Structure 1
Amino acid sequence: MQEITVLLNLGLFAGGLAILVYGSEHLIQAATRLAKTFGVSDLLIGLTIVAIGTSLPEIVSSLTALAAGKADLAFANVAGSSLTNLTLVVGLSALAAPLATNHIVLDRDTKIMTLSFILLAIMVFDPLTPGIITWWEGGILLVLMIAYLSFLHWGREECDTCYQFSIFVDFFIRLRFITSLRGRAPLPRTSRAAQGGSVVSSERESEGEPSRIGRQQASDLVIILIAALGVTVGAQWVVSGAEFISLNFGIAESVIGFTLIALGTSLPELTVSLNSARHGFGRLLIGNVVGSNIINITMGLGFANMFFPAATANLFLAAVLLLLMLGIAPVFYWIIRKDWRVTRREGFVLTFLYFTVLAVLVWASESVF
C-alpha cells in the first residue's frame, strides 16, 4: 500500500510538471492569437504575453510555493532555473552549433540581468529582514521588469545609444518608463542602431487588424481558461509532490527546487534553444535566455513576494545560490564578449559547470549554519 502511495505521489509530481509546462505553452499560443484578433501589435504581444508567458511555469510554481509558505522551494526553483539557463541550456546549444552574439546582448540584457541578481542579493540579506523579500522589495523587482520591457520597446527606435546599460539605469531610476508607457519616447533618435536578441522575438511594431469574435476566438478563449486552470493545478501538484518527496526520501525541498523543478521548467527553453542553434539563431537564443532570467527573478520572486512574503529557512543555501549566480554572470559575460561567439569548447565548459553547480548546491542544502 505504501509503495502505491509513493508511485501515486511521484506520478502526481511528474504529471503536475508536465501539465504546468504544456499548459503554459498552449496559454501563450491561444492568448497571442486572441490578442491579434483585437488588433494588438506584435510588439506589445511580444513584450507582454510572450515575454512573461515563457517564464510562466517558474512564476506560477514559485507563487504556489510561497502561498504554501515554502520560501526555500520557491527561491531554489527560480535561482536554479536561472543557473540552468546560463549553463546547461546555453552550453548544450553551443555544443549543437556555435552561437553568434553581439554587443547589444552584452551591453543591455546581460548587464540588466546582473543588476537583477545584485538587487535580489541585497534584498535577501537586508539586515532588517534577513531571508525575506518584503512586499515593497518585491514591488521594486516588478518595477524593474516593467522598466526592462519598456526599454526594449524604445530600444527598437533609431538611436545610437538606446541599448547601453547606462541609459537603462537612468531610465529605471528616474522612472522614465512611465512616460514611455504614455506614448512619449524618452530616448533620443539619431541614427539606426542594429538591434540584438531579447525576450521578444520581434522588436518592430506591426499593427494587427481587429476583427469580430468568431468560432476561432471563442475556441482560443476556452483554451486560455482551461490552460490557466491546468497551470494552476499543475503547480499545486508540483509543490505537493515536492513536499512528499522531501518527507519520504529525506531530500531537502530546496534540492528538488533547483534540480527536478528547475530542469523540468527549463526543458521547453532547452528544446527551443537547441533548434535555434541548429538554424543559426544564436543571437536571438542568448537574448531569450538572458531575458527569461530577468523575468524569472522579477516576476517569479518579485511579483510573488508582493503577495506572499516568506522567510528563507536555509540562509546559507541562499547565499551559495546568489554567489553562484553573481559568479557565473561575469563568466557568461566574458564568454559572450570573447570573439562574439560561444564555441563548442565553451559550450562544454558551461555544461560541465552546470553539474559542478548541482554538486555544490546539494552540499549546501544539507549544511546547517
Structure 2
Amino acid sequence: MFSSLTPALLSFFFAAAGIVVAGTHLARTADELADRTGLGEAMFGILMLAGVTSLPDFAATLSAAVDSRPDLAMSNVMGSMAANLMFLGVADAVYRKANLEHAAASSSTLMQAALLIVLLTLPMLAIATPSASLWGLHPITLVIVGSYLFGLYLIRGAQEHPMWFPRRTRQTVQDKPEEHARGGLAKAWMIFVGLAIVTAIAGWVLMESAKVISDQTGLSETLVGGVFTALVTSSPELVTTIAAVRAGALTLAVSNIFGTNCFNMLVVAAADAGYPDGSIYFHMEPGQMVWGLVSVLMTSILLLGMVRRQTYGIGRIGFESALVLVIYLLTLLTVMVRG
C-alpha cells in the first residue's frame, strides 16, 4: 500500500489520530445505549463497546495474518491485550474517589476476568500441542470461539440472576439506568456505527503502514507489533475507559477492558482462519506468547483486587493497579531491549 517510509509514517500518525478522536465519542454514546436498550453497562460493554474498540486490532491483526506475517499479527493482538489491562491501572489513578476495582466490583466483572484467563490459556496450549489442523484451522481455534460464546451466556446469567453480591459500601457504584432525552435513539445508533467504521478503517491503515515501517527501519515485527501498533490500536480502550470513569459509568469502564480482551481472542481465531499457510500457531515465534502470559498474570492480579476490594491504596491507587503498571513497564522494557 505504501512504497516508502515517509508516507507510511504519515499514514501511521493520521490513522492513530483517527482512532483517538473516534474513541473520545464512544463512551458517552455507549453509556446512553446501554441504558436505553436495557442491556446494562456490563453486557453492552462486552457485547458492543468491546467489539467496536477491538476493530482496530481486528483489522490490523487480520491484515498482517493474511499477508503471512504471523509474528506481526500475534504480537499486535497479544500486546494490545496487555496494554488494555495497563489502561485499567491508569483509569484507577484517574478515579480519585476510591480504588476502581473496589467501586466497580460485581458478579459480571468478576466473571469477565475469569473468562479472559480461560481464553488466554488456549493459544498457549495450541503452541504446546502437536501440529494439527482442520480445514486450515487448529482445533483450539474452534474451542476459543465456543468458549467465548459460552462465556457470554454465563456472564448474562450472572448479571440477571447473580449468586454472589459484592458488599455494598459508600464507594460502591452500581449500574443504574439514567434518564435520557426522549427520541434520538436511531441517531445514537448511527453515531455508534459511524465511529465503528472509522476505527476499523484506521486500524487497517495503521497495520499497512506498520508493515512498511518494520521493513524500512529494520525493527523486528515483535517490537513493532507488540509495542507501537499495539499501543495505538488500543488507544480507543484508553480513551473510552477514561471517559466512562469520568462520567461515573464504572461498570462500563471495567467491562470495556475485560470485554475487549475477550473479544480479542476472536481476533486470534480470525488470524488463524486468515493465515494462508496452515495454522498460525505453528508459524510464529514462541516468544510472541510473552504478552499473552503477562496478560494472564495482569488479569489474575486485577481479579484478586476485585475480590479483595481494597478501598484506598497508596496515592489512592489500588495495589493491583500499581502491580499491573509495574509489570507492564518491565515487560515493555524487556521487549524493547530484546528488539
Please give the range of the TM-score, normalised by the shorter of the 2 chains.
Answer: 0.7 to 0.9
- Kindly provide the CA deviation profile for residues 241-279 of structure 1, in whole angstroms up to 9, marking residues without a partner as x: 111111221111221112121111222222233344445
Match of 1:111 in 2: 114
Match of 1:180 in 2: none
CA distance in 2, matches of 1:284, 1:249: 39
Distance 1:160 1:146, change over 3 A: same
CA distance in 1, matches of 2:167, 2:64: 37
Residue 154 of structure 2 aligns to a residue whose secondary structure is: helix
Among 132, 137, 141, the residue aligned to 1:138? 141
Contact 1:20 1:231 in 2 (8 A): yes
Residue 326 of structure 1 aligns to a residue whose secondary structure is: helix
Among 354, 358, 367, the residue aligned to 2:332? 358
Match of 2:260 in 1: 292
CA distance in 1, matches of 2:325, 2:331: 10
For 2:127, the aligned partner's letter is: V
Q: Normalization by structure 1: what TM-score?
A: 0.68
Residue 156 of structure 1 aligns to a residue whose secondary structure is: helix
Distance 1:145 1:290, change over 3 A: same
Distance 1:64 1:41, change over 3 A: farther
Match of 1:99 in 2: 100
Match of 1:187 in 2: none
Contact 2:23 2:236 in 1 (8 A): no
Contact 1:26 1:227 in 2 (8 A): no
Contact 1:138 1:304 in 2 (8 A): no
CA distance in 2, matches of 1:227, 1:281: 20
Contact 1:72 1:314 in 2 (8 A): yes
Q: Which moved more, 1:8-17 or 1:149-158?
A: 149-158
Contact 2:80 2:233 in 1 (8 A): yes
Structure 2 residue 293 is matched with structure 1 residue 323: yes
Distance 1:105 1:40, change over 3 A: closer
Match of 1:183 in 2: none
Among 148, 151, 159, the residue aligned to 2:151? 148
Structure 2 residue 285 is matched with structure 1 residue 306: no
Match of 1:171 in 2: none
CA distance in 2, matches of 1:18, 1:45: 25
The structure with the largest alpha-carbon Rg is 1
CA distance in 1, matches of 2:199, 2:337: 32
Residue 127 of structure 1 aligns to a residue whose secondary structure is: coil
Match of 1:179 in 2: none
Q: Identify unmatched segments of 5+ residues in structure 1.
A: 162-192
- Kindly provide the CA deviation profile for residues 120-152 of structure 1, in whole angstroms up to 9, marking residues without a partner as x: 21123222259xx93543222122222222223
Q: CA RMSD in A?
A: 4.1
CA distance in 1, matches of 2:271, 2:137: 10
Distance 1:52 1:227, change over 3 A: closer
CA distance in 2, matches of 1:34, 1:286: 17
Distance 1:195 1:118, change over 3 A: farther
- Please report how far the alpha carbon of residue 69 of structure 1 lies from its aligned counterpart in structure 2 after TM superposition: 1.4
- Please report how far the alpha carbon of residue 80 of structure 1 lies from its aligned counterpart in structure 2 after TM superposition: 0.8
CA distance in 2, matches of 1:26, 1:136: 38
CA distance in 1, matches of 2:190, 2:246: 31
Percent of residue pairs bearing the same amino acid type: 19
- Please report how far the alpha carbon of residue 33 of structure 1 lies from its aligned counterpart in structure 2 after TM superposition: 9.9
Contact 1:80 1:259 in 2 (8 A): yes
CA distance in 1, matches of 2:50, 2:66: 24
Distance 1:156 1:327, change over 3 A: closer
- Please report how far the alpha carbon of residue 114 of structure 1 lies from its aligned counterpart in structure 2 after TM superposition: 0.7
Residue 280 of structure 2 aligns to a residue whose secondary structure is: coil
- Please report how far the alpha carbon of residue 72 of structure 1 lies from its aligned counterpart in structure 2 after TM superposition: 1.2
CA distance in 2, matches of 1:140, 1:331: 25
Match of 1:61 in 2: 60
For 2:159, the aligned partner's letter is: R
- Kindly provide the CA deviation profile for residues 157-193 of structure 1, in whole angstroms up to 9, marking residues without a partner as x: 23526xxxxxxxxxxxxxxxxxxxxxxxxxxxxxxx5
CA distance in 2, matches of 1:315, 1:300: 18
Residue 68 of structure 2 aligns to a residue whose secondary structure is: coil
Match of 1:122 in 2: 125
- Kindly provide the CA deviation profile for residues 210-267 of structure 1, in whole angstroms up to 9, marking residues without a partner as x: 99x9xx69x949x957963x55543332222111111221111221112121111222
Q: Normalization by structure 2: what TM-score?
A: 0.74
- Please report how far the alpha carbon of residue 105 of structure 1 lies from its aligned counterpart in structure 2 after TM superposition: 5.4
For 2:7, the aligned partner's letter is: L
Aligned residues: 312
Structure 2 residue 267 is matched with structure 1 residue 268: no
Match of 2:203 in 1: 235
CA distance in 1, matches of 2:23, 2:309: 36
Contact 1:103 1:337 in 2 (8 A): no
For 1:301, the aligned partner's letter is: V
Match of 2:171 in 1: none
Contact 1:99 1:342 in 2 (8 A): no
